Amino acid sequence: MEKKPHFVRREFLPREVPSISLALLLAAVLLLNALLYLYLNKFSSSLGRVETDSGLCPFGHFKFGAVKNCSPWLSCEAINREVRKLKCVGEGAVKKVFLSEWKEKKVVLSQLTNSELKEDFLHGLKMLKALQSKHVVRLLGYCEQQFTILTEYHPLGSLRGLNETLHIPKYKGMNTWHRRLMLAIDYVSVIRYLHSSPLGTLVMCDSNDLDKVLSQYLLTSDFHVLVNDLDALPLVNRSAGRLVKCGHRELQGEFVAPEQRWPYGEDVPFEDDLMPPYDEKTDIWKIPDVSNFFLGHVEGSDIVRLHLFDIHAACKKKDPAERPSAQEVLDTYRKVLTLLIREAAMPGTREML
């Protein structure tokens, strides 16, 4: 009688061990799936949050860095008194850009260089004021009388230097297909925001080649994309029959959309008055080329391209009406990222089972 319990335990022990192991493995799988779900849910929530981020200040105010309180945009007097130029860091057709200092913080001071382009400068200022959001560089102040704009400084500069930045030892850990795809998602998010902005449907006209596009955007220190140059943002208003033309010169090359090229052949000299206008779908045409730059040639980037093949083919439709909207492109990018993250986690799950 004394041995019976011992005999029973010995008989069932070999069956209990696999059962316990299986239960632990299943629990681990469930935990892994739960963590993945929470990550993706958090990621989706962050992508889907309102464009006017709740962390932003009311119109006419700003805050940045660790400062909690909002301050009014700096006036002409405050800029002249409190902002000190350090060095010139760039110059374009419209303005010269200076790395400057305000209250021991690095800032950027932009000043008009060509009086003939003051309307472009003031248009850029108007857009910058009206479009303040998580997609747009932060405005700190301005002086219309002196054609001066003060914005937040981002030390990593424009997207033209992305590949060089990712080869710096400090940032090599960011050089992955995952991070690069997230930058592409940021870029498409900006395009979507411009196409559905508070002002209406805006077209990013300073985008006649890849280098020009990349120069319009900044890379933040936490690896997000902000649009920086808003001097050329004409408005499309279909209900009023208003389309746009990006400048008054002939545009050429495969980077610009077909409808932006002179349609009457080489035998007919270009005339701006005869050039048909177009809409925001020119921005959609350019998305695959810009995203290809973002994805680079890291491990896994070709798999991402394969998943994006269909949406990119749709972006390159010759008929603008057949191209997807920026929202549709953005939705596809997000789905691909979610799918690839899940697939990256699944091999480990299968090994556990």
User: For position 349, what pLDDT does the model report?
Assistant: 47
- DSSP labels, 11-38: HHHHHHHHHHHHHHHHHHHHHHHHHHHH
pLDDT values of the chain reduced to their tens digit, one per residue, 353 residues: 554 454 444 444 444 546 666 666 666 556 655 555 555 555 544 444 444 454 678 999 998 777 788 999 999 999 999 999 999 998 888 899 999 999 999 999 999 999 899 999 999 999 999 999 999 999 999 999 999 999 999 999 999 999 999 999 999 999 999 999 999 999 999 999 999 999 999 999 999 999 999 999 999 999 999 999 999 999 999 888 899 999 999 999 999 999 999 999 999 999 999 999 999 999 999 999 999 999 999 999 999 999 999 999 999 999 999 999 999 999 999 999 999 999 887 665 444 43
Pairwise CA distance, residues 139 & 99, whole Å: 15
Same domain, 326 and 197: yes
Same domain, 119 and 215: no
Same domain, 147 and 165: no
Of 152, 178, 212, which residue is a domain's last?
152
Predicted TM-score of the model (pTM): 0.84
User: For position 181, what pLDDT does the model report?
Assistant: 98
The verdict on residue 35 lying in a domain is no
CATH code for the domain of 95: 3.30.200.20
User: For position 19, what pLDDT does the model report?
Assistant: 63
Pairwise CA distance, residues 175 & 299, whole Å: 9
Q: In which domain, by residue range, is 303 found?
A: 157-345
Same domain, 188 and 293: yes
> What is the total count of domains within the chain?
2
The per-residue b/e assignment along 291-323, b for 16 or more CB within 10 angstroms, e otherwise, is bebbbeeeeebeebeebbeebbebbbeeebeeb
User: What are the distances in angstroms from CA 233 to CA 45, 316, 335?
Assistant: 29, 22, 29
Same domain, 142 and 165: no
Same domain, 125 and 163: no
User: For position 56, what pLDDT does the model report?
Assistant: 78
User: For position 83, what pLDDT does the model report?
Assistant: 97
The verdict on residue 217 lying in a domain is yes
141: helix, strand or coil:
strand
Phi, psi values for residue 242, rounded to 5°: -100, 115
CB < 8 Å & 24+ apart, contacts of 33-41: 33/349, 36/341, 36/342, 36/345, 39/341, 40/338, 40/341, 40/342
